[in-house]
Structure 1
Amino acid sequence: MLMSKFHNPDKIKVPRSFWAVLKWKLTSPKPPVWPKKVIYTKDIPPSRVNDDSIRISSVGHAAFLIQHQGKNILTDPVWSNRVGPFNIGIKRVADVGIDFDMLPKIDFVLVSHNHYDHLDVATLKMLEKRDKPVFIVPVGNEKTLKRPMPNSKTESLNWYNSIAFADFKIHLIPSQHWSSRTPFDINKALWGGFIIESSKTQICFIGDTGYDKKMFEEIGHRFNNISFAILPIGCYEPRWFMEDVHMNPREALQAFLDMKAKFIIPSHFGIFQLADDGYNQALEDYEQSLKDLNINSSHLLKPGEFILKSSDLF
């Protein structure tokens, strides 16, 4: 039987109250103006990567195509032009990095939580119709998928539970966040991140999270072969309001160090204006933090860009 409410590892109470939201909107300076449209290149990925190499392509925001050992995996896929209920929410400023008709057949779709910029029903329905993938979600989110897609193959996991396939194992890991799609379902579905584990390596993906050193060190202790950590760096201002649920770039890099991963790929920046950080602020703060922390194992991917690493490099 599902819990009526889920909570964070240290029971940090989120989301903020209505009055805190009102304070943010009334007291913050006018948000920086983002560009209306940014043009990036488009990736045309291969149908499969059949060896031990890893190819990771940025679709934009928290959506990535991960190709490894013959499997195609999508994280938090959003091909819609807006994120929000009834498709009337915030408009994207950059198009997706892979056109949908150029997307190879998808085997697995990982959805980290139910916020509209991560769980986009329209996109999931397109994937279900075309590819019939396995959807893997935190507990409680299967209801959101099953309503529009009653015949979909959907698996739900609790933190540190896993599901095994022929060549892969998918683990759900904690994140410090919250969930809601309406005012009436706050924290009634779980949130989290994922570890994709193959015979060769582990890949970490977290859609949204605040910084919790103990949590990240525990993830690194349980999974000690993480080659790539895809971690969010944007949507973090004002700090007093966002710090419990969204890391800033320096915290994301510290989380990467806590987990002892080999490479970091930043996400969650430059697509949807969800907070008060400026368009380039996350990347500028990220680059400065890389220097401050003396980290040289970062792969920054803008939409349409990809990395391909052979197994001897990770």
Structure 2
Amino acid sequence: MDVFAIGHATFKLRIDGLVILTDPWFTTSGFLYNLFMRRIYPLATELDSIKQCDVMLVSHNHPDHLSRHALTIARKLGSLVIGPGDVVRRAERHGVPNARELRPRESIEAFGIRITAVPAVHPLANNPIGFFLEGNTNIYYSGDTRFDWKIVEALRGKRVDVAFLQVSCAFRPLWHGADGMDINYAEELAKAIRPRCVIPMHFDCVGKYLDITTKKRVSEHSLDVEDVLSVFRRRLSRSGIECLLLFAGNEATI
């Protein structure tokens, strides 16, 4: 499997000629972007440069996980869009002819890979899900989620080769607390599901919490982010779990 990090939670996966895009966010401007979603790493590729996308996995319908123009590309390339109901309805409104809703624990066979929706807990999102892909390489993609034992139960008995895990989240102590995982919760989940390799993701938006305990947040200074992720990698290594850090523009073969 070849992995190319486009930025935030967007990856291009190439598996035996099949191309999968995860949570395709390509926005780089606009009011909401400037207010809530400023990137610290330049987008690694422009959406229009993508010439093949067989499957588009969308974990939930938040703007930093699905760009409007990504659905235009899905329609143009004939991509199979898989996600929760509101994602599928949005795709259909954009004229995407091939969209499939998945609820937690439901599966679909596509291009020789079994794709199963994994439970996720993400306040303010409608029916968020993660994904488990079973093939020659088994992949868990968390999307945005809190640590939850329902995830562990859904993956129990599964061989997880690679886990893409959220490592920064919003944190509002007087409202709903953490809306996903920081490095501490991601470490807890990794130890529970025991993947061979973890690829951290979702660390590209200014203001998100990388480490709630020490109040470390994503800042404009990318070296600060890299320092926190290096700590995360060392902690996983002590537990016998490999951690591969891929920043926007990096690629790896697994």
Supply the distance in 2 between the matched residues of 1:196 and 1:117 (Cα, whole angstroms): 22
Separation (CA, whole Å) in 2 of partners of 1:169 and 1:87: 38
- 1:191 to 2:136 alignment: no
1:76 equivalent to 2:23? Answer yes
The answer for the alignment partner of 1:275 in structure 2 is 208
Cα distance in 1 between the residues matched to 2:199 and 2:141:
9
Separation (CA, whole Å) in 2 of partners of 1:197 and 1:238: 36
| Alpha-carbon spacing, 1:145–1:88, altered in 2? closer, same or farther (3 Å) | farther
1:200-219 deviation digits (Å, cap 9, x = unpaired): 2311111211112x223213
Count of residue correspondences: 242
Instruction: Quote the residue 2:98 is aligned against.
Output: 153
Q: Is the 8 A contact 1:178 1:190 kept in 2?
A: no
State the secondary structure of the residue aligned to 2:242: coil
* 8 Å CA contact retained: 2:24, 2:66: yes
- Which letter maps to 1:138? P
Report whether the alignment pairs 1:177 with 2:122. yes
Q: What is the CA–CA distance in structure 2 between the aligned matches of 1:79 and 1:140, rounded to whole Å?
A: 19
Give identity over the alignment, percent: 24
SS at match of 1:92: coil
Cα distance change, pair 103–256 in 1 and its aligned pair in 2 (3 A): same
Q: Distance in 1 between matches of 2:88 and 2:34?
A: 21
Whole-Å Cα distance in 2 between the matches of residues 57 and 85 of structure 1?
26
For residue 142 of structure 1, what is the aligned residue in structure 2? 88
Residue 291 (str. 1) matches residue 195 (str. 2): no
| Matched residue type, 1:229 | A
Partner of 2:214: none
Residues 1:197 and 1:82: Cα distance change in structure 2 (over 3 Å) = farther
Check 1:228–1:84 CA distance in 2 against 1; reply closer, same or farther (3 A cut).
Answer: farther
AA in 2 matched with 1:285? V
Counterpart residue identity of residue 216, structure 1 = I
Q: Is the alpha carbon distance of 1:292 and 1:164 closer, same or farther for their aligned partners in structure 2, counting shifts above 3 Å?
A: closer
Counterpart of 1:211, as a letter, is F
Question: Kindly tell me: are residues 179 and 128 of structure 1, through their superposed partners in 2, closer, same or farther at Cα, counting changes over 3 Å?
Answer: farther
CA distance in 1, matches of 2:47, 2:91: 20
Long gaps (5+) in structure 1: 1-53, 181-188, 310-314
Alignment partner, residue 207 of structure 1: 143
| Counterpart in the other structure of 2:154 | 219
RMSD: 2.5
Please say if residues 203 and 218 of structure 2, whose CA atoms lie closer than 8 Å, have aligned partners that are also in contact: no
User: Is 1:233 equivalent to 2:167 in the alignment?
Assistant: yes
SS of equivalent to 1:302: coil
How far is 1:290 from its partner?
A: 3.4
Point out the more displaced range, 295-304 or 106-115. 295-304
Q: 1:241 deviation in Å?
A: 5.4
How far is the alpha carbon of 1:87 from its aligned partner? 9.3
Offset of residue 84 of structure 1? 6.8
Distance 1:241 1:97, change over 3 A: farther
* TM value normalised by structure 1: 0.69
The structure-2 alpha-carbon separation of the partners of 1:142 and 1:179, relative to structure 1 and needing over 3 Å to count, comes to farther
Return 83-92 or 59-68, whichever deviates more.
Answer: 83-92
- Distance in 2 (CA, whole Å) between partners of 1:278 and 1:85 is 17
> How far, CA to CA, are the matches of 2:227 and 2:173 in structure 1?
16
Which structure exhibits the higher relative contact order, with contacts defined as CA atoms closer than 8 Å and separated by 6 or more residues? 1
Would you say the 8 A contact 1:175–1:208 is kept in 2?
yes
8 Å contact from structure 1 (residues 60, 303) kept in 2 = yes
Name the amino acid aligned to 1:65.
K
Aligned to 1:13: none
Which secondary structure does the structure 1 equivalent of 2:70 belong to? helix
Deviations 1:80-103 (A, max 9, x none): 214776998634343221233443
Residue type of the alignment partner of 1:103: I
Aligned partner of 1:65 in structure 2 is: 12
Q: 1:61 to 1:86 in 2, by over 3 A?
A: closer
Tell me, what secondary structure is at the counterpart of 2:188? helix
